[in-house]
């Protein structure tokens, strides 16, 4: 599929330039994009695009490869109501029969402007990777959803002047700079197509903006949108932690690559939890009760630190294969263990440095990550690098057989690998150097606006060697290509901690399990159960190969009904495992497999087992050193 798409792109571009050129769009003749979100609560966005053109055949494309999603997820299925007009007269268009994202048309002679009108329909619930972009009370506009551009053009070379109408009384937040504003519409300053696509707009009836670096340049703001005023009530200590995050990134990277930074935060249960990075902003979507419910807040701890880190690691410094000239050129994800993996490491560590993770919570988080990856059965057939190379498909993997499939493991497993790199630099340099120095030299540099500096694997190795000489090429290659059993746990051990199991539930995992309705018993029986209730039932979403449950015959996709003859619940199942400890009677699980019921006898007597970190006596506690606040503490927030 990828090769076909690429061939078509090349063929079309050749024919395009040989044909004398129909691309009338230049920086001097910008496209105009007028978007109307007044019907956003009805989940339909209207757009009118005016493109400068010249006569001849023209192919327009809808963005397919969406930055930050590392996949061809452009929501073409939601593009509706497409009409092309010149001088008020409708002209015909025809979709390419192979490339679903391309439409062909003929521009009549004497024409300099093409008018395109289109609608974007937002799904009301998630379908695959199609997520809602609007609710009754708020909307998130990604400009790529409502535009076309000439095939073959580079997004840096195209200029778009955009305007936006929002429902009456709604406010908005975006990194885009405003040229003028009236009660009728917001007019943005002209920007490249790259910047437009990279600058979503959040708009809502209930919205507030908080300054996260008062009195400083560049400015940082968070724009919070919610379904009600209650959703906007942020605890002052959270605001203080966000301000500390701004300070900590300054200490970590030493430079900023944006003119100003705008966090967009959608607080709603009517969108999917998500986070997408941009150069000067990020699109963060969290559950509606995040500021009222501690376990929801804990399950979202690293979201803002992760997405913010991407401004440096992912947007400014970007793997060559992901720095594509436009949205039709396929992306190559082989270096996502740096782009996403090191971001995951810093998202976790920055959460500790700003205090949203206490030292205990940080250890519980790392213990769980290390433990579940240590049990990944699929590493015998699939190495870590392959999970990154296949990023364009792994995000949509079904949950069943997760341990055997592996999924986007380049996030969490790279946390362990970058921790190991950090501890090697710290140990070998006697504490004089650390991965912070690598970040400053590789991702810091000049204070500049949005800019992309592509890199290769060799560039990462060379930059690490300037911080501390080591065989970094072998270090990463061994871990990326390993088919050996077990997760890379060297970083934990270097940092003075080892992975252990006991019968006390992992605190950080419990905070994730509660809002997600999960019961994670993968380290004892070997199963992960989702309490769906109702029609979906309580599904066993994974069974670790070789575990007691797997040996008894239980498989993912089955539904759990009863435990030792009694209707199952999380509490009942955990209590049964405790009671069976050291005994000889098997635990009986009544399971529904489509229309058939069967009791499986699980021969397990090891009791409850949950992962934790335990101090290695005599070794320096580097983990606590890494997790310490590095910037001066910001003042308490009064907001």
Residues near Zn ion, by CB under 5 A: 340
DSSP alpha helix (H) spans, 354-482:
359-374, 384-389, 391-394, 402-405, 412-428, 435-439, 457-467, 472-480
The residue among 343 and 519 lying less far from Zn ion, judged by its C-beta, is 343
Nearest to 64 by CA among 423, 266, 331, 294: 331
Nearest approach, Cβ of residue 425 and Zn ion (Å):
23
Least separation in angstroms between residue 284's CB and Zn ion is 11
The span from the CA of 84 to the CA of 93, in Å, is 7
In 3D space, the residue among 391, 340, 519 whose CA is nearest the CA of residue 129 turns out to be 391
Work out whether strand 79-86 and strand 159-165 pair parallel, antiparallel, or are unpaired: unpaired
**Cβ closest to Zn ion, residue 340 vs residue 386:** 340
Taking the complex as a whole, the smallest distance from the CB of residue 410 to Zn ion amounts, in Å, to 10
Min separation Cβ 315 and Zn ion, Å = 10
- Angle (deg, nearest 10), helices 341-353 and 236-253: 120
Q: Which is nearer to Zn ion, 340 or 420 (CB)?
A: 340
* CB proximity list for 265: less than 8 A, separation 6 or greater: 202, 222, 223, 224, 225, 284, 285, 286, 304
CA distances from 313 to 328, 340, 341, 439 (A): 23, 8, 10, 9
Q: How far is the CB of 524 from Zn ion (least distance, A)?
A: 31
Question: Which residue lies nearer to Zn ion by CB, 191 or 435?
Answer: 435
Q: Which of residues 49 and 303 has its CB atom nearest to Zn ion in the complex?
A: 303
Of 68 and 231, the one with the shorter C-beta distance to Zn ion is: 68
Distance CA 115, CA 96 (A): 20
- Among residues 336 and 464, whose Cβ is nearest to Zn ion? 336
Give dist(CA 631, CA 243) in Å, integer. Answer: 11
Q: Judged by CB, which is closer to Zn ion: 16, or 418?
A: 418
DSSP class per residue in 170-196: -EEEESSPEEEE-SS-EEEPPEEHHHH
Smallest distance, Zn ion to C-beta of residue 542, A: 23
538/533 Cα distance (integer angstroms): 6
- Distance of closest approach, residue 411 Cβ to Zn ion, in angstroms: 7
Q: How far apart are CA 116 and CA 149, in angstroms?
A: 11
Could you give phi then psi for residue 307, rounded to 5 degrees?
Answer: -65, -35
How many helices (H) and strands (E) the chain has is answered by 20, 32
- Joined together, the tokens standing for residue 105 give 């048309």
Helix, strand, coil content of the chain in percent (nearest 5): 35, 25, 40
Alpha-carbon distance of 542 to 521, in angstroms, equals 10
Q: Are 50 and 313 in contact (CB under 8 A)?
A: no
- Cβ proximity to Zn ion: between 164 and 252 the closer is 252
Q: How far is the CB of 339 from Zn ion (least distance, A)?
A: 7
Residue closer to Zn ion, measured from CB, 395 or 600: 395
User: What is the separation of C-alpha 536 from the centre of its chain, rounded to a whole number of angstroms?
Assistant: 27
Assign residue 243 a region (left: φ > 0; alpha: ψ between -120 and 50; beta: otherwise).
Answer: alpha
Nearer to Zn ion, 347 or 378 (CB): 347
Residue 340 or 412: the one with the smaller Cβ distance to Zn ion is 340
CA 590 to chain centre: 37
State the greatest distance between any 2 C-alpha atoms of the chain, in Å, as a whole number. Answer: 88
* Measured distance between the N- and C-terminal CA atoms of the chain, rounded to whole angstroms: 51
* Between 340 and 513, CB nearer to Zn ion: 340
Rank residues 308 and 497 by Cβ distance to Zn ion and give the closer one.
Answer: 308
* Least distance to Zn ion, CB of residue 341, Å: 9
Indicate the residue among 340 and 520 with the shorter CB distance to Zn ion: 340
**Which long-range contacts (C-beta less than 8 Å, at least 24 apart) are formed by 324-327?**
324/65, 325/154, 325/155, 325/156, 326/149, 326/152, 326/153, 326/154, 326/155, 327/61, 327/63, 327/64, 327/65, 327/66, 327/67, 327/74, 327/144, 327/149, 327/155, 327/197
For the stretch 3-7, contacts whose Cβ atoms lie closer than 8 Å and that sit 24 or more positions apart, written own/partner, are 4/98, 5/64, 5/72, 5/99, 5/328, 5/330, 6/329, 6/330
- In whole angstroms, the minimum distance from the beta carbon of 345 to Zn ion comes to 11
Nearer residue to Zn ion within complex by CB, 340 or 437: 340
Q: Least distance from C-beta 310 to Zn ion, angstroms?
A: 6
Helices (H), 221-317: 236-253, 294-299, 303-309
CB of 277 vs Zn ion, minimal distance in Å = 6
- Asked whether the CA dihedral 380, 385, 391, 395 is positive or negative, the reply is positive
Q: In whole angstroms, how close is the CB of 591 to Zn ion at the nearest point?
A: 36
Closest CA to 195 of 303, 280, 287, 99: 280
């Amino acid at each position: 599929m990828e090769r076909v798409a690429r061939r078509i792109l090349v063929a079309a571009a050749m024919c395009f330039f040989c044909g004398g050129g129909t691309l009338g769009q230049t920086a001097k003749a910008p496209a105009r994009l007028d978007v109307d979100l007044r019907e956003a609560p009805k989940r339909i966005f209207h757009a009118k695009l005016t493109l400068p053109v010249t006569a001849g055949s023209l192919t327009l494309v809808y963005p397919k490869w969406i930055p930050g999603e590392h996949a061809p997820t452009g929501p073409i299925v939601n593009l509706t109501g497409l009409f092309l007009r010149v001088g008020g007269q409708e002209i015909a268009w025809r979709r390419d029969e192979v490339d679903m994202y391309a439409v062909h048309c003929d521009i009549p002679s004497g024409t300099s402007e093409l008018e395109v009108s289109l609608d974007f329909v937002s799904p009301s619930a998630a379908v695959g990777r199609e997520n809602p972009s609007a609710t009754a009370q708020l909307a998130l506009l990604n400009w790529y959803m409502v535009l076309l551009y000439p095939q073959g053009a580079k997004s840096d070379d195209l200029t778009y002047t955009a305007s936006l109408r929002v429902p009456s009384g709604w406010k908005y937040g975006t990194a885009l700079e405003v040229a003028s504003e009236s009660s009728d519409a917001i007019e943005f300053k002209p920007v490249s197509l790259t910047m437009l696509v990279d600058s979503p707009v959040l708009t809502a009836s209930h919205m507030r903006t908080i300054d996260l670096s008062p009195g400083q340049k560049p400015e940082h703001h968070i724009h919070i949108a919610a379904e009600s005023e209650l959703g906007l009530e942020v605890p002052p200590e959270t605001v203080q932690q966000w301000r500390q995050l701004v300070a900590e990134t300054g200490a970590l990277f030493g430079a900023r690559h944006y003119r100003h930074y705008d966090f967009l935060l959608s607080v709603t249960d009517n969108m999917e939890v998500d986070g997408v990075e941009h150069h000067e902003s990020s699109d963060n979507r969290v559950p509606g009760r995040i500021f009222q419910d501690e376990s929801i807040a804990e399950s979202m701890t690293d979201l803002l630190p992760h997405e913010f880190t991407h401004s440096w690691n992912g947007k400014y410094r970007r793997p060559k294969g992901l720095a594509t000239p436009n949205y039709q050129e396929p992306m190559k994800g082989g270096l996502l263990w740096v782009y996403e993996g090191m971001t995951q490491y810093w998202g976790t560590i920055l959460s500790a440095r700003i205090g949203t993770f206490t030292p205990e919570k940080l250890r519980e988080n790392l213990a769980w990550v290390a433990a579940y990856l240590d049990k990944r059965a699929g590493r015998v057939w699939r190495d870590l690098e392959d999970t990154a190379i296949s990023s364009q498909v792994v995000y949509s993997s079904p949950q069943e057989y997760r341990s055997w499939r592996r999924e986007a493991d380049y996030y969490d497993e790279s946390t362990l690998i970058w921790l190991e790199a950090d501890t090697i630099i710290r140990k070998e340099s006697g504490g004089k150097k650390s991965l912070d120095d690598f970040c400053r030299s590789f991702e810091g540099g000049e204070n500049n606006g949005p800019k992309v500096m592509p890199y290769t694997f060799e560039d990462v190795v060379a930059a690490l060697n300037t911080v501390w000489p080591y065989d970094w090429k072998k270090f990463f290659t061994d871990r990326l290509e390993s088919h050996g059993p077990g997760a890379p746990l060297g970083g934990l051990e270097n940092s003075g901690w080892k992975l252990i199991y006991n019968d006390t539930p992992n605190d950080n995992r419990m905070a994730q399990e509660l809002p997600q309705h999960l019961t994670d018993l993968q380290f004892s029986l070997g199963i992960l159960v989702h309490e769906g209730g109702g029609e979906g039932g309580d599904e066993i979403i994974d069974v670790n190969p070789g575990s007691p449950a797997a040996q008894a015959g239980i498989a993912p996709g089955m539904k759990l009904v009863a435990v030792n003859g009694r209707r199952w619940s999380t509490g009942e199942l955990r209590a049964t495992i405790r009671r069976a400890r050291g005994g000889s009677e098997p635990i009986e699980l009544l399971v529904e497999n489509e229309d058939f019921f069967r009791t499986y006898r699980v021969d397990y007597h090891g009791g409850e087992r949950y992962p934790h970190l335990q101090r290695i006596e005599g070794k320096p506690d580097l983990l606590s050193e890494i997790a310490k606040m590095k910037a001066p503490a910001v003042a308490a927030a009064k907001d």
